[in-house]
Chains A and B, each alone.
With several copies, the nearest count.
Chain A
Amino acid sequence: MNRIKQQLLTDKKLLSIYFTAGYPNLEDTVSIIKSLERHGVDMIEIGMPFSDPLADGPTIQDSSTKALQNGMTTEILFEQLQAIRQSVSIPLIIMGYFNPILQYGVEAFCEKCQNIGIDGLIIPDLPMDIYESDYRQIFEAHGLINVFLITPQTSEERIQYIDANSKGFIYMVSSASTTGVQVGFGDEQTSYFKRIADMNLNNPQIVGFGISNNMTFKQATNQAKGAIIGSAFVKHLTTEGIDSIDKFINTILGECH
């Protein structure tokens, strides 16, 4: 069984962490992944840096630029991850824009992911209809779950459609924003969280965007299955480096998890 699905079956609230591969240093990828697992993270999104990450805010954008300057490429990322399954067992998801995947070759890319032990993909600029018609078969043949997003603006009809076509979880964007823009959740988000919970979807939801501390983590996971932290973690790497990842995780989960 796919590790993502397995993880979703546990009854804990899941903490998923995003980071940009190759940042702060080209060779940090594996250490970060290991450290995250060691400190209690439930799922990891490995960001493939892209020159024009238009769905991301300045923090992730800057880390991507730096990672590319550090020399990160698709090839190098795969090399770094080659032996990852010897030491890491939580679900690993690659998050990346579609063009680098297209240039690598979608089939070759999926094959590589399967070999490494990647469990899923998040490709923000690959919409569901194109995925359905052109790529689902390839992804599934390689055991990869493709994760789709919904936002507060997504219509009920489309949420049902996305739910019907999702195979793991739904990435629930907390608010209309590129990553890193939100600072906390207000009434609007709370009622959005409730509205989605009330839909009783087949796929569990994991909330992303705007989670940066214990309070927002709790708010987000009050009804959803889990939460994804991206910008806040990347910011932490920028200011604190990779050695105090435990401290970051602790503040998110609360002191006594």
Chain B
Amino acid sequence: MSYHINDNGYYGDFGGAFIPEMLHPNIEKLRQNYLQIMSDSEFQKEFKQLLRDYVGRPSPLYYASRLSKKYNTKIYLKREDLNHTGAHKINNTVGQILLAQRLGKTRIIAETGAGQHGVATATVCALMGIECIIYMGEIDIKRQAPNVARMKMLGAKVIPAMSGSRTLKDATNEAMRDWINNPLDTHYIVGSVVGPHPYPDMVARFQSIVSEEIQWQLKDQEGTTKPDYVIACVGGGSNAAGAFYHYLEDTSVQLIAVEAAGKGIHSGESAATSILGKEGIIHGSKTLLMQTKDGQITEPYSISAGLDYPGVGPMHAHLYKSGRAEFMSITDDEAMKAGLALSQLEGIIPAIETSHSLAIFDHKKFKNDDIIVINLSGRGDKDLQNYIDYFKL
């Protein structure tokens, strides 16, 4: 069984491009060109150079000795929090802005949840001098205020999404509407491995730099390119896709995807898509999503804006259904505690999204010689107020 995309744009049963005709020209142009553009050597050169000189790659693979000691196993943190703008999201936006330029686009739109993708998009737009519009749920605008401020500093226009749950899902709807209304000059920089084909594959390829680096970094430090486990949180699934990518076909490496259980999986306030979801269509792709019996998309909940999404990317739906990856879910409380623990054990304040991955050690035992790589997808600066309020610091 393959875990990569097939020629029709599917991962197993999931994927495809369920899009309104209005988006057809844009999506089709992307589909026809993305692989060729991305494999062009000039593109690769420019991409790699920006990743190095602008983003600050390679991000370190840091052996967390105090955390390892606490759980009596070997834990490496892949430090995407050290990237410019503070999360893995920028790997993708750097790639897509170069692609957008080659497609002749002069206006960029994006959706954002935690604001990290919005900031990463506003950043590359500033870098290239391109107009930038960011859609963000009204609730998320409130709970991720620092990132809203950053987008404004970077010259982007932030438009609140006022419908539905006023979070990531609704921001995505608004971005798609914008694209429908501005098909010629605009490129939509989707922020995760979601949306119609070729987005999931394209974003996964841009993020695959993460596991590409893990391979040689682990080789340097442990003498093997293969960890026993790779662990990542899943909102849409881009940081997980990046961390899993080069290990997808090698089943000796166990993959663990961590979702947000919010106030508890069965509390009615959660975003644990794989467990609670059913197959369906959201934002242009067939995947797992949380929905009513009637096919209405459910409003998810998580304390973490970046995981507060009712779907997962089609790659992850496939990894779940096929059993290739283990899916776990972590509540708000567990995540917050794990975030504080990492801060005080290793001096790294993680994004609340990432804190979900860090919380699994209280649920799952590992052997003392297991090599575990956790994708530390982002830093917690954007979440400080939430942490402070939560812990009454």
Q: Which residue numbers of A lie inside 8 Å of B, CB to CB?
A: 50-58, 61-62, 65, 68, 73-75, 97-104, 124-128, 130, 148-151, 153-155, 158, 173, 176-178, 181
For residue B37, CB closer than 8 A to chain A, the reply is no
10 tightest Cβ-Cβ pairs between the two chains A and B: A100-B295, A103-B295, A149-B21, A55-B20, A51-B296, A124-B20, A99-B295, A153-B25, A54-B176, A99-B281
Question: Shortest beta-carbon distance, B16 to chain A, in Å?
Answer: 7
Tell me the complex Cα distance, A55–B182, Å.
Answer: 13
Chain A residues contacting B181 (CB-CB under 8 Å) are 176-178, 181
CB-contact partner of B284 in A57, A125, A153, under 8 A:
A125
Query: Can you offer 25 A-B residue contacts whose CB atoms are under 8 A?
Result: A51-B296, A52-B169, A52-B282, A52-B297, A54-B177, A55-B22, A62-B163, A65-B163, A68-B296, A99-B281, A100-B294, A101-B295, A102-B295, A126-B18, A127-B19, A149-B21, A151-B22, A151-B25, A153-B22, A176-B180, A176-B181, A176-B182, A176-B183, A176-B184, A178-B180
Knowing that A97-B281, A125-B284, A178-B181 touch, tell me 11 more A-B residue pairs with CB under 8 angstroms: A52-B169, A54-B20, A98-B281, A99-B281, A100-B294, A103-B293, A125-B20, A127-B19, A130-B16, A176-B182, A178-B180
Question: Shortest beta-carbon distance, B76 to chain A, in Å?
Answer: 39
Residue pair B280, A176 in contact (C-beta under 8 Å): no
A-contacting residues, B145-185, CB 8 Å: 163-164, 169-170, 172-173, 176-177, 180-184
For residue B17, CB closer than 8 A to chain A, the reply is yes
Q: Which residue numbers of B lie inside 8 Å of A, CB to CB?
A: 16-22, 24-25, 163-164, 169-170, 172-173, 176-177, 180-184, 278-284, 291, 293-297
Chain A residues contacting B278 (CB-CB under 8 Å) are 103
Question: Shortest beta-carbon distance, B30 to chain A, in Å?
Answer: 14
Chain B residues contacting A173 (CB-CB under 8 Å) are 21-22
Tell me the complex Cα distance, A74–B292, Å.
Answer: 12
Residue pair A51, B280 in contact (C-beta under 8 Å): no
Residue pair B18, A130 in contact (C-beta under 8 Å): yes
A-B contact count (CB 8 A): 113
Residue pair B183, A127 in contact (C-beta under 8 Å): no
Residue pair B294, A127 in contact (C-beta under 8 Å): no
* B177 to A, closest residue via Cβ: A178
Residue pair B294, A75 in contact (C-beta under 8 Å): yes
CB-contact partner of B24 in A68, A98, A154, under 8 A:
A154
Chain B residues contacting A148 (CB-CB under 8 Å) are 21
Q: Which residue among B22, B182, B297 has the maximum number of chain A CB atoms within 10 Å of its CB?
A: B22
Residue pair B21, A154 in contact (C-beta under 8 Å): yes
Residue pair B184, A153 in contact (C-beta under 8 Å): yes
Chain B residues contacting A125 (CB-CB under 8 Å) are 18-20, 281, 284
Residue pair A61, B163 in contact (C-beta under 8 Å): yes
Chain A residues contacting B169 (CB-CB under 8 Å) are 52
Q: Which residue among A50, A74, A149, A151 has the maximum number of chain B CB atoms within 10 Å of its CB?
A: A151
Chain B residues contacting A57 (CB-CB under 8 Å) are 177
Contacts A99-B282, A153-B184, A154-B21 known; A104 to B295 CB distance under 8 Å? yes
Chain A residues contacting B295 (CB-CB under 8 Å) are 50, 74, 99-104
Chain B residues contacting A149 (CB-CB under 8 Å) are 20-22
CB-contact partner of A102 in B20, B21, B280, B284, under 8 A:
B280
Chain B residues contacting A68 (CB-CB under 8 Å) are 296
Question: Shortest beta-carbon distance, B322 to chain A, in Å?
Answer: 21
Tell me the complex Cα distance, A182–B18, Å.
Answer: 25
Question: Shortest beta-carbon distance, B295 to chain A, in Å?
Answer: 3
Question: Shortest beta-carbon distance, A6 to chain B, in Å?
Answer: 26
Question: Shortest beta-carbon distance, B271 to chain A, in Å?
Answer: 16
* B25 to A, closest residue via Cβ: A153
Tell me the complex Cα distance, A176–B282, Å.
Answer: 22
Q: Which residue among B279, B291, B295 has the maximum number of chain A CB atoms within 10 Å of its CB?
A: B295
Tell me the complex Cα distance, A178–B20, Å.
Answer: 10
Tell me the complex Cα distance, A143–B73, Å.
Answer: 63
Residue pair B184, A127 in contact (C-beta under 8 Å): no
Tell me the complex Cα distance, A158–B25, Å.
Answer: 10
Residue pair B20, A153 in contact (C-beta under 8 Å): no
Residue pair A127, B18 in contact (C-beta under 8 Å): yes
Tell me the complex Cα distance, A158–B24, Å.
Answer: 10
Question: Shortest beta-carbon distance, A81 to chain B, in Å?
Answer: 16
Q: Which residue among B163, B182, B283 has the maximum number of chain A CB atoms within 10 Å of its CB?
A: B163
Chain A residues contacting B282 (CB-CB under 8 Å) are 52, 99
Tell me the complex Cα distance, A50–B20, Å.
Answer: 15
Chain A residues contacting B25 (CB-CB under 8 Å) are 151, 153-155
Tell me the complex Cα distance, A130–B164, Å.
Answer: 28
Residue pair A103, B21 in contact (C-beta under 8 Å): no
CB-contact partner of A99 in B22, B182, B297, under 8 A:
B297
Tell me the complex Cα distance, A72–B42, Å.
Answer: 54
